[in-house]
A and B are shown apart, each in its own frame.
Chain A
């Protein structure tokens, strides 16, 4: 790699860190300046990323050794390959627009400095994952991403739910990271390197051990909120909406998919099958669960879970190219959906309950247009961005396993159902609350990103990919993208069209009554099953009934046995014997005497040394 190239990556990586540092030190009280500084840096990053995409082809690397701990080399370096180029474009481009959106959305927030500093830290962390050339460096930035997510979820820290959610997100992610760490250690022990390129060049005679892939996959399960560690993502919606859009929809959760795509060669067939089944299962279930949420952001969070499941399934099908393609398309339309939700929440004076919205189409036309466009893309309407990737994955599933195909088909249906419900409840019908009645369109800083991402990329990123996305970023996915054609008779297309038709029916169904959820009225028990948080209940039971009791029991035992029996017995026994032997002259419980003897003893020792 030419020095030019690496210095460009240095700038991309460290510019946001510098911005965050500057904000933390000097702009804590100057929110507006911090907002524009952070946003300016985000756009500068996007420009630098575009520049990087025009220089260099193929896999380019740069590496230094930060330090050596014994035999362990702590490496820091860049690997810019086709996956990284696509991810770099998606992250920097989407993030820049979300920064701009945040300028408007957070205008009245007192802690804007902290917020934008956090966004910049996040940019530093996620870009580090994108460019990292080895497992250890990936892990470093993986942890930093977890920290920035923690910090931004806790933005409204005076609310108990935000405090809880931030803690939960960090801890659940760390459970996954535990496996990641063990995977790194395993890799180093067995293959002697952590470098992606060097690992890729190895061809172990006995094949890759499944343990390695399984351990590294734990990190993906945590970060990308895959079953059974998915529980944190819906709670993470406690953060400000732009954070949900950027971190908990478009980029950070997708980083797990990106990581899996990078180490796809390490995954054994059994493991792939497991990922495929778990991903497809989660896609179907989470899609249905989205039907039973009235909070617009939580419903979207379940939608994100479903799409992450679809991406996981694509990895499992042995098609990481489709997974990263879907990651990119999903980033465009899901970011729009969250930003649209943010615009709606902003317009409705921080109302998030969809049942209290309604009739916003006339009051917020730009938001509505972008949201509907992104929704149609989400539902995989042919030739919109979402269709290119989702239909391709359905097709791949159909070619490989009917069971997976059925699950993904169910997910496609669920997507159309919850999307229709959401659009119907929020934008059409009568206004169901004072706040919705007085809603207003958002300022340009918020609508501009909606137009670009929603009306532009969510719609056209598929068929006009060559015009919208730099060629270097497309290299990884160009082939499946070009191969997509509309066959009215292919199984995936038929399922997709049936799902859309069901979605149209759902649109009518949810329009029957205002201010209530029709499904809840008609099938309360089914709704209840979808709404209930099964895994949270299991974890809650473990924490309260097992972990807490165990720790209290251990603390008690420590006090009783070690501190009580052993120490007191020794503490009472030894001095008693000594006291008896010394005729009870020395041990009278006089602290000063003890201190004095310590001093005298020390002085004697000192004298011994000085006089020798």
Chain B
């Protein structure tokens, strides 16, 4: 390893530990002056993005370097490194975390230093989840990030935060435990044992010795973490109650660990989810699209709607994974991965901007809102843009992910395709309804009174920067999808190949035509 590679490998570790260290300082120094604390926190929020871009940017001659980089043997405790699958998620986390951090810095909260410290912990943990190459390490960092999530919800959340935080804690802990059981079964069968890295696991595992139960345990364990129907009940109340930066970071980034786990463990090592299990997976994923989509239509509260829709948007991602699992073709997982990145950005932007609505109107209830576009045109424009991103308007990253999943399903029955693609109509209905109810028309009488007493200003510059960061990143991958796919392509092909090898020898795939 030459010195440059050594530097880069350690940069990934630095990116993970910087927010955690900054968080420690803030937790320890509860009486630190606000300005000092803000500076410290900001450094913790911004540094990972700078380092992440530096690591992944296609500098001349360095394209491959980061893909193998690892800090093996370094004093960091875990192996760190990025590969084609984790690099886009790592960068997305860094963007979402910075936006969430900016939002948190301008919020007025009690015990601010502790609040910021916990958020930094959560951020660092999420980065570590995708930044470590160790299998159990990723699990550890996920748990590490969950604890501050619960605490933030419990102590800084909105209405109904106690039951929501408890429900979330129980669900996610149970989901994590179930997936851990599956993971340990897999790792126990691996030649490299419990300390395997992802690549060791993928390259050396002997599929014949993996217990069958591991498929179900990892699929549904990770499914709980990613709000697979019918294990989604924690998500909507949890995100609704959690403070906005925590909702952004969890719904945008941390939740993706469940999907990451399904890709790397359930699909890759176990050769997809076969037989009856695959059918259950399909049914559950379809329910995410159709049933949860319809449930979104019934929501009357902006933040509840966003929370529910973030559950519904998991549907196409699951289906992309499912189709790779049953066909052994790379399209599905590639599209799903793209959608994971894009959804993280758009979903965080929506939570951020919805909080901007509440800050002005004092409520999230749709029937009490209206006409805000007059008072806050920039907020309205950004909210419309984020909404359009989330319902898959071309130009934003979500489009390539969604259309990619639809196209990956092209050999399935037309009815299945139609059911999945119905999301383009359902999501447009609920999302545009919310936009119209919030920003268009005249303000309701109650809101008019409130506005007369306290006229509102447009979105502040800090939140503008945060929203533009998220939407800008989404536009970037929307216009240049190659930025993501050039990294993920080879890995998706490898995974598909691993799946295909375990599939029962069927008629040649239709793509051979």
Interchain CB contact under 8 A, B294 and A158: no
Interchain CB contact under 8 A, B297 and A547: yes
Provide the residues of chain B in CB contact with A66, threshold 8 Å.
Answer: 480-482
Interchain CB contact under 8 A, A595 and B147: yes
Provide the residues of chain A in CB contact with B410, threshold 8 Å.
Answer: 185-186, 188-189
Interchain CB contact under 8 A, B331 and A551: no
B124 to chain A, nearest CB (A): 13
Kindly identify which residue among B77, B137, B150, B403 contacts A136, using a CB–CB cutoff of 8 Å.
Answer: B403
Stretch at the interface among A383-391, A405-413, A474-482, A563-571: A563-571
Q: Which A residues from 155 to 184 make CB contacts under 8 A with B?
A: 157-160, 162-164, 166-167, 170-171, 174-175, 177-178, 181-182, 184
A158-B442, A606-B140 known; A69 vs B291 contact (CB < 8 Å): no
A167 to chain B, nearest CB (A): 5
Interchain CB contact under 8 A, B441 and A163: yes
A501 interface contact, C-beta 8 A: no
Kindly identify which residue among B136, B299, B388, B403 contacts A147, using a CB–CB cutoff of 8 Å.
Answer: B388
Interchain CB contact under 8 A, A178 and B330: no
A236 to chain B, nearest CB (A): 15
Interchain CB contact under 8 A, B421 and A182: yes
Least CB separation from A176: chain B residue: B425
Interchain CB contact under 8 A, A591 and B166: yes
Chain B interface, >50% SS class: helix
Interchain CB contact under 8 A, B417 and A144: no
Interchain CB contact under 8 A, B414 and A182: yes
A249-B110 Cα distance, complex, nearest whole Å? 57
B144 interface contact, C-beta 8 A: yes
Q: Mark B455-487, 1 if CB is under 8 A from A, else 0.
A: 000000000000000000000000011101110
A186-B413 Cα distance, complex, nearest whole Å? 10
Interchain CB contact under 8 A, A162 and B440: yes
A556 to chain B, nearest CB (A): 8
B338 to chain A, nearest CB (A): 7
Interchain CB contact under 8 A, A188 and B407: yes
B373 interface contact, C-beta 8 A: yes
A70-B323 Cα distance, complex, nearest whole Å? 12
Interchain CB contact under 8 A, B77 and A185: no
A552 interface contact, C-beta 8 A: yes
Q: Which A residues from 178 to 204 make CB contacts under 8 A with B?
A: 178, 181-182, 184-186, 188-189, 192
Determine the interface band of chain A, counting residues with CB < 8 A from chain B.
Answer: 35 or more
Interchain CB contact under 8 A, A144 and B400: no
Provide the residues of chain B in CB contact with A555, threshold 8 Å.
Answer: 294-295, 298-299
B358 interface contact, C-beta 8 A: no
B228 to chain A, nearest CB (A): 12
Interchain CB contact under 8 A, A143 and B150: no
Q: Which B residues from 136 to 158 make CB contacts under 8 A with A?
A: 136-137, 140, 143-144, 146-147, 150-151, 154
B48 to chain A, nearest CB (A): 20
| A to B contact number (C-beta, < 8 Å) | 197
Interchain CB contact under 8 A, A189 and B441: no
Interchain CB contact under 8 A, B407 and A185: yes
Q: Which B residues from 56 to 74 make CB contacts under 8 A with A?
A: none
A512 interface contact, C-beta 8 A: no
Kindly identify which residue among A159, A167, A186 contacts B432, using a CB–CB cutoff of 8 Å.
Answer: A167
Provide the residues of chain A in CB contact with B146, threshold 8 Å.
Answer: 598
Interchain CB contact under 8 A, B295 and A554: yes
A26 interface contact, C-beta 8 A: no
Provide the residues of chain B in CB contact with A28, threshold 8 Å.
Answer: 377
A162-B440, A178-B424, A595-B151 known; A70 vs B298 contact (CB < 8 Å): no
Q: Mark B372-412, 1 if CB is under 8 A from A, else 0.
A: 01100100010010001000011100011001101111110
A610 interface contact, C-beta 8 A: yes
A109 interface contact, C-beta 8 A: no
Provide the residues of chain A in CB contact with B492, threshold 8 Å.
Answer: 70
Interchain CB contact under 8 A, B294 and A171: no
Provide the residues of chain A in CB contact with B333, threshold 8 Å.
Answer: 70
Kindly identify which residue among A136, A554, A612 contacts B291, using a CB–CB cutoff of 8 Å.
Answer: A554
B111 interface contact, C-beta 8 A: no
A558 interface contact, C-beta 8 A: yes
Interchain CB contact under 8 A, B170 and A157: no
A582 to chain B, nearest CB (A): 16
Kindly identify which residue among B77, B136, B150, B297 contacts A548, using a CB–CB cutoff of 8 Å.
Answer: B297
A606-B147 Cα distance, complex, nearest whole Å? 14
A55 interface contact, C-beta 8 A: no
B150 to chain A, nearest CB (A): 7
Interchain CB contact under 8 A, A182 and B418: yes
Interchain CB contact under 8 A, A605 and B143: yes
A529 interface contact, C-beta 8 A: no
Interchain CB contact under 8 A, A160 and B496: no
B283 to chain A, nearest CB (A): 14
A548 to chain B, nearest CB (A): 7
A140 interface contact, C-beta 8 A: yes
Q: Mark A578-612, 1 if CB is under 8 A from B, else 0.
A: 00000000000001001100110010011001101
A599-B173 Cα distance, complex, nearest whole Å? 13
B31 interface contact, C-beta 8 A: no
A510-B485 Cα distance, complex, nearest whole Å? 64
A494 interface contact, C-beta 8 A: no
A154 interface contact, C-beta 8 A: yes
A68-B489, A70-B329, A74-B481 known; A157 vs B373 contact (CB < 8 Å): yes
B363 interface contact, C-beta 8 A: no
What are 24 sample pairs from A and B whose C-beta atoms fall under 8 A apart? Answer: A69-B481, A71-B330, A139-B394, A141-B394, A143-B399, A147-B393, A157-B373, A158-B440, A160-B442, A166-B436, A167-B433, A178-B422, A182-B421, A184-B403, A548-B297, A551-B297, A555-B299, A566-B230, A591-B162, A591-B166, A605-B143, A606-B140, A609-B137, A610-B77
Sample of 19 more A-B contacts, CB < 8 Å, known A70-B333, A594-B169: A66-B481, A67-B484, A139-B394, A143-B394, A167-B433, A170-B432, A171-B429, A175-B425, A181-B403, A182-B414, A184-B406, A211-B414, A550-B294, A554-B298, A571-B167, A598-B143, A598-B146, A598-B147, A606-B77
- A-to-B contact residues, CB < 8 Å: 24, 28, 66-72, 74, 136, 139-141, 143-144, 147, 150-151, 154, 157-160, 162-164, 166-167, 170-171, 174-175, 177-178, 181-182, 184-186, 188-189, 192, 211, 547-548, 550-552, 554-555, 558, 562-563, 566-567, 571, 591, 594-595, 598-599, 602, 605-606, 609-610, 612
- B-to-A contact residues, CB < 8 Å: 77-78, 136-137, 140, 143-144, 146-147, 150-151, 154, 162, 165-167, 169-170, 173, 195, 230, 232-233, 291, 294-299, 329-335, 338, 371, 373-374, 377, 381, 384, 388, 393-395, 399-400, 403-404, 406-411, 414, 417-418, 421-422, 424-425, 428-429, 432-433, 436, 439-442, 480-482, 484-486, 489, 492-493, 496, 510-511, 513
